């Protein structure tokens, strides 16, 4: 009976995108908004939701990656998942050793709020305004190029 309930929950989660919590250790940081989390069963490729960080090849991309590495690498993490993106990565809000990695990347100035996906009333907008006013991270540049524009230019 329990197995049937678990199976039903997993089917519902996959079909309608219900959130789930994953806990494990961050073993790799690909860039400023993507990491790998490993639990005792499997490996998850995770994209931090509601933010967009410079690509590694983009100016400030390595700085952004180094910041997320500092926040999360080899630390215990909890990922509140929402769904998968078109690349098969799990979209999630990630907390590493008690630090909200999504918000911290924005607070440090190493990621933009991804306005295309973030709610209009998301507290991340205020966090970004503070980082911009303080000229932290990429906001120290006179005209930082958002990653979605950088990717469009590369096409």
Residue 12 included in any domain:
no
The model carries a pTM of 0.87
From 3, 28, 45, 47, active-site residue: 47
Number of domains observed in the structure of the chain: 1
Q: Quick check: is 45 catalytic?
A: no
| Domain of 135, in residue numbers | 17-141
Q: Cβ of 88: how many Cβ atoms within 10 Å?
A: 8
From 55, 60, 104, 108, active-site residue: 55
Residue 151 included in any domain:
no
Residue 149 included in any domain:
no
Residue 155 included in any domain:
no
Condensed to tens digits (0 to 9), the pLDDT of residues 21-53 reads 999 999 999 999 999 999 999 999 999 999 999
From 3, 57, 62, 89, active-site residue: 89
Residue 77 included in any domain:
yes
Condensed to tens digits (0 to 9), the pLDDT of residues 121-152 reads 999 999 999 999 999 999 999 999 999 999 99
Q: Quick check: is 55 catalytic?
A: yes
Residue 133 included in any domain:
yes
What secondary structure, in 3-state letters, does the chain show? CHHHHHHHHHHHHHHHCCCEEEEEEEEEEEECCEEEEECCCCEEEEEECCEECCCCCCCCHHHHHHHHHHHHCCCEEEEEEEEECCCCCEEEEEEECCEEHHHHHHHCCCCEECCCCCCCCCCHHHHHHHHHHCCCHHHHCCCCCCHHHHHHHHC
Give the domain CATH number at 132.
Answer: 2.40.50.90
């Amino acid at each position: 009976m329990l197995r049937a309930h678990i199976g039903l929950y997993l089917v519902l989660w996959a079909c309608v995108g219900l959130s789930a919590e994953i806990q494990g250790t961050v073993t790799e940081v690909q860039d400023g908004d993507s990491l790998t989390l490993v639990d005792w069963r499997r490996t998850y490729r995770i994209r931090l939701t509601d933010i967009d960080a410079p690509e590694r090849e983009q100016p400030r991309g390595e700085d952004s990656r180094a910041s997320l590495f500092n926040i999360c690498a080899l630390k215990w993490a909890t990922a509140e998942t929402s769904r998968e993106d078109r690349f098969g990565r799990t979209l999630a809000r990630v907390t590493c050793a008690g630090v909200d990695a999504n918000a911290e990347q924005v607070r440090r100035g190493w990621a933009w709020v991804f306005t295309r996906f973030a709610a209009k009333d998301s507290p991340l907008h205020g966090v970004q305004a503070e980082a911009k006013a303080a000229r932290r991270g990429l906001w120290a540049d006179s005209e930082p190029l958002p990653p979605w524009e950088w990717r469009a230019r590369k096409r």
